[in-house]
Chain A
Amino acid sequence: MKRLLGFWPLLTLIFALAFFLRIYRVADTPHDLYVDEVAIGWNAYSILKTGRDEYGTRLPLFFRSYDDYKLPVYIYATTLSEAILGKTAFAVRFPAVLFGTLTVLVFILLVKLLTGSQKLALLTGLLLAISPVSLQFTRAGYEAGMAVFWTVLGVYLMLLDLENKKKTFFWGVTCLVISLYTYHFSRIVAPLLFSGILYWYRARLRQIIQRKSARVTALFLILVTLPFIVYAVSPGGLARARSESFLKEIPAHIGKSLTTSLGWDIDHWLKNYLAHFSFNFLFFAGDGIGRHGVREIGELYLWQLPFLAIGLIGTIRRRTKPNQLFLFWLLVSPVAASLATPSPHAVRSLPMIVPLIYFTAAGIIKYISFVSRHSGKRIRQLAESESRIHLSAQVEILESSSDQTRVIFRRMGTLTITTIIAYFLLSYLHIYYVHYPNRTSPDWSGGYKEALDFVFAHENQYEKVALTRSLSNGYAYLYFYGQFDPSRVNISPRPQMGFGKYEFVDVPYTLPKNTLYVAQPTDPSSGRLIAQIKNKSGDVQFYIWEN
């Protein structure tokens, strides 16, 4: 039995649980691919078939997509996934599932390395495996979940060298560089974490720099980071930063000069930053965006609140290296998110989950040890008071029962916490699989696939298929769900406006003869209504007309 409860068997169990929770019904819950997922899926498919993206650029480092210049790592991972699994929703989400599960594994190893405590490491892994926010972003095609994986792995490999001299420092830095090419928050979080680690281990760093391979590796890293820096200051990169920046919200009366707006900027940034530590955001409702959470639960479970508080107070009191590192991690994680709008934002502040889970686990360990220690102390006090009245036989019994009581209390504490965790997990899974699809169907583009499936089944009866302009931003839906050859689509003059008999049209639209028209309920139309497509919430998403 003891062998079964050892570190590696338990780690395997947690890994299996994490994988199961992420892979189970991943293709249909969340029930449709959202607009970025289909863009990733279509670009990955295009790369797989032609070696070029949807704009015909050969193996691009930055994907233009909807002019938002997506970062490449997730898309190339999806290319591999689609090569094996085909152009399906499952293939688009599988990289997120895989890397989300691997994050749990690496996180356990990181905590074990830093604290030396197997219990704490396994508990952090378990909590990350069942964390609502982690599940949310590793069950859909979000690059953010993968970026967290590269960040955690990078920190782990760097610390493995700094703590245990395993010569993995530069592999760690490479992982942080990969995270820069995975999601935007890493532009800020990765350099800050890197600087923090360099500061804490500055004494050991000198030895690493003196290694023979250090200069070559450093040169390599600079070279691979260079394209990213060039991108970041390019018009495309700056446009992306400007479009998301909170600075665009400066009221007109403040003015745009530095002197007049500086106070407003700092005030606004601080408000955005503090919003990420809001109780409402962390424990009750998340950021309110339907794709970012189930809305009925925040980033963390409510039961985590007291343990998080205990863990944080313990950290402030006991400033060990791991405590300081995770506190620093917690403080820098929302920096990127607070520079953008809206705020708080669950995706952009996703690295926060790592320290929050660590502090919760530390709080639980502290609580259980407090309960068992306190109960043992009470028995001992009783024994001492009995000894004063010379009842030696009872004293012996009480003293020997002190240890037993401590074990019993520890087990009771563990059982209570296990029951609470299981209850909240059950509650979350119920909300995720039953409530969530019904309540947030429009957020996941509910009805798009069904509408297109209807069109593909009937297209042969018509000369032309017109799609409302509201679908044109999601032109990738058409190509992803249909049987289109990327080599033919991508060479057409404007595939974003339509291809072959398909055309995206403005409203109001006069329906020509022999045409099938997919319109929104608000779009006026003539012709004959032949179908209405509902999303999972039961609302009509599209009307399909013919003439």
Chain B
Amino acid sequence: MGELGFCSIHDIQVYLTEQLRSDIFVDQNVPLLLVRLLHNKWLYTFGASLRCYLSFWDTITYSQVVSVFLLPLILYGLFARRWRRFLWPLQLVMPLFFLFNPLNLSLGEKILWFRIYYVFLALVGFIKLVINFKSK
């Protein structure tokens, strides 16, 4: 969902319309109650929003635009004892920034910000590594 995994609210809306329309076609002979129970807007919206949100944490989205060699440092940074109380809320909020796109960024700009964010995390990991190494 979304180009290169960079999903937005618009993508969710498009997905919902397409999915519900295509379900009407295949569910023609199914009891209405069952169809409403299994395919409804609430459930689809939840699923699509979660998918969209998680696409910014997704390994495929990540590896398409950021070097995979930075991943150990990023993970190391995210689990840094002192900074994780700041980094995890940031990590939780980060997808919302791309989802709602308040700055009206283009895809290229989104990729750039996404890269900057993960390089920042890698830098935190690197600093932590150096500090740990020195203290030992």
Contact = CB atoms under 8 A, between A and B. Distances in A.
Interface string B28-72: 001000100010000000010011001101111011000111010
A278 B60 contact: yes
Interface in B73-107: none
Interface in A162-188: none
A275 interface: yes
A331 interface: no
Interface string B102-116: 000000000000000
A389 to B, nearest CB: 37
A279 B27 contact: no
A274 B55 contact: no
Interface string A270-289: 11001101111101100000
Interface stretch (A360-368, A374-382, A433-441, A449-457): A433-441
B58 to A, nearest CB: 5
Contact of A278 (B34, B59, B69): B59
A438 B22 CA distance: 11
A280 B51 contact: yes
B50 A274 contact: no
Contact of A435 (B26, B58, B59, B67): B26
B60 to A, nearest CB: 4
B63 A271 contact: yes
Interface residues of B, number: 23
The B interface, classified by DSSP as helix, strand, loop or mixed, is helix
A284 B51 contact: yes
Contact of A434 (B5, B26, B50): B26
B26 A275 contact: no
B60 A430 contact: no
Contacts of B63: 270-271, 274-275
A111 B124 CA distance: 39
Contacts of B26: 434-435, 438-439
B68 A278 contact: no
A279 B68 contact: no
A281 B60 contact: yes
A435 B23 CA distance: 8
Interface residues of A, number: 20
Contacts of A271: 63, 68
A267 interface: yes
A114 B63 CA distance: 36
Which has the most chain A C-beta neighbours within 10 Å: B27, B34, B38, B57? Answer: B38
B116 to A, nearest CB: 20
A427 interface: yes
Contacts of A274: 59-60, 62-63, 68, 71
A411 B57 CA distance: 34
Nearest to A438: B26
A427 B30 CA distance: 13
A384 to B, nearest CB: 30
Contacts of A435: 23, 26-27
B58 A279 contact: yes
Given A267-B68, A435-B23, A302 B50 contact: yes
A277 B26 CA distance: 31
Nearest to B34: A430
Contact of B30 (A277, A279, A434, A439): A434
Interface of B: 5, 23, 25-27, 30, 34, 38, 47, 50-51, 54-55, 57-60, 62-63, 67-69, 71
Q: Which 8 A-B pairs have the closest CB atoms?
A: A274-B59, A279-B54, A270-B68, A271-B63, A278-B60, A284-B51, A438-B26, A278-B59
